[in-house]
A and B are shown apart, each in its own frame.
Chain A
Amino acid sequence: MKKSDPLLGKKLSRRDMLRLTGVGGLGLLLGGGGIGGIMATRGAAAQVPAAEVKEDTIPFYGSHQAGILTPSQNFLYFASFDLTTTKLADVKKLLELWTTAAAALTSGSLIGNINDNPHLPPSDTGEAAGLTPARCTLTFGVGPSFFDGRFGLASKRPAKLADLPAFKGDDLEPKWSGGDLCVQACADDLQVAFHAIRNLARIARGTAVLRWTQEGFQRTGGADPMGTTPRNLLGFKDGTGNPDVTNAAEMQKIVWNSSGDGPAWMNGGTYMAVRRVRLRIEIWDRSTLNDQESTFGRYRHSGAPIGAKDEFDDLNLKATDHSGKPIVPPDSHSALAHGDGTVKMLRRSYSYSSGMDLTTGQLDAGLLFISFQRDLVKQFVSIQERLSKNDRLNEYMVHTGSAVFACFPGIREGGTIGESLLG
């Protein structure tokens, strides 16, 4: 009988569950191998054959973690965790449980096998039941504090993984900074992303606690079917100057660690810099279009570099006007960030809006800047040093949070998040 196939051999997705139970499926479920069968196969959730992967599913397993080169989803839910345990065994256990849960979350299955026992709280909190995976990706990393000696891992800390140095103008708050572990959840549906973090935090209870979280958004695919470069809250296209993620050689150079970069456990991994940047949008809104464009060195409407026509035209910093002055202001954000063009990073930021600042009555909104790079110091720090000193954009923003994480290499089927580090 065809209908019962998925119950026997394959995992049951959140949608299958709904569909089946919706058509008097409980009987069908029980007939087709029994609930126990479903529970057991669902435990093996993420072994989805590649052929079955649908458009709304981004494979969790692979040589690199998803959520890095993955084209940005519509929403972000970022969570930084602190470990409360002092036992390495607990940390390993947590990462095992997170692996199983992440495989379920990214493939749209219910978490755990206790979802129908009337005497127990269900193991999945349920708000994503019936939803597709919505291209959910979960990206895991460890911060410098993970190596501080509590778990005997100090010798494994990559030399380059350290809290970022203080930059000019920083106004960092501990409540938006740091963390032993991070999970970047991205999805085309905020409820799916929230559900992921909520359940991972629940699973961590007793072992790790949330330190800080931030939701992020961009224009959705629905509002921009053409998928043009998204605009940040200052109204400018953001991401134009990013390297091409489909160019494997470039990614190897800019993003991924390989042998020789540092500890072997980071081979195939990457470093993440996170900055919570509050934008002074009220001040920005009072500046002229001309000022705004000079601030970025690009046109607001097209996103093209000043003096050029098309968004993707080269940023030519040598071009001068008739009086010999550079056409793209040297202290504009694009010019300074670009530098001589030899140092790049992969940016994957999201806008945020966290209600209002009760002191000033202004919006607390801005950018959760996220970038991935092979080397935090050579890439992020060197660019941010230039920016923090001279960027015209500084007038309109303040960095309120900061964190860095070593994002593990990809997880192979049957493997565990972080196993190259923890064994």
Chain B
Amino acid sequence: MHELSVTQSILDIVLQHANQAHASKVTNIYLVIGDLSTIVDDSVQFYWDIISKDTIAVDAKLQFRRIHTQFECLDCYKQYQPDGDSILCPHCGSAHIKVLSGEEFYLEAIDIEK
């Protein structure tokens, strides 16, 4: 839902690094996004097409690497992906859980042309 401000932040970071490297063009942007962060790829792309106009990143492809939510039960030591109805351990019902992945939210790299 807040993809506009998120997309603006992505563009700011991309342009800052592209300019530092004296790029003439940005061709790819690699994003790593965990499922717990509730960002929708399509709407980021939608805003991207609007706000990147008139910048050197206008033709860049947004490459999303989604990271699934992965929990580990600290009582029975099994790993699982929560199914959306309950986040408790499906094996033993425990609420004693470690979050292994799913909270990622970063820009990994960009490809540029000089």
A, B bound? no
Which residues of A are at the interface with B, using a C-beta cutoff of 8 A? none
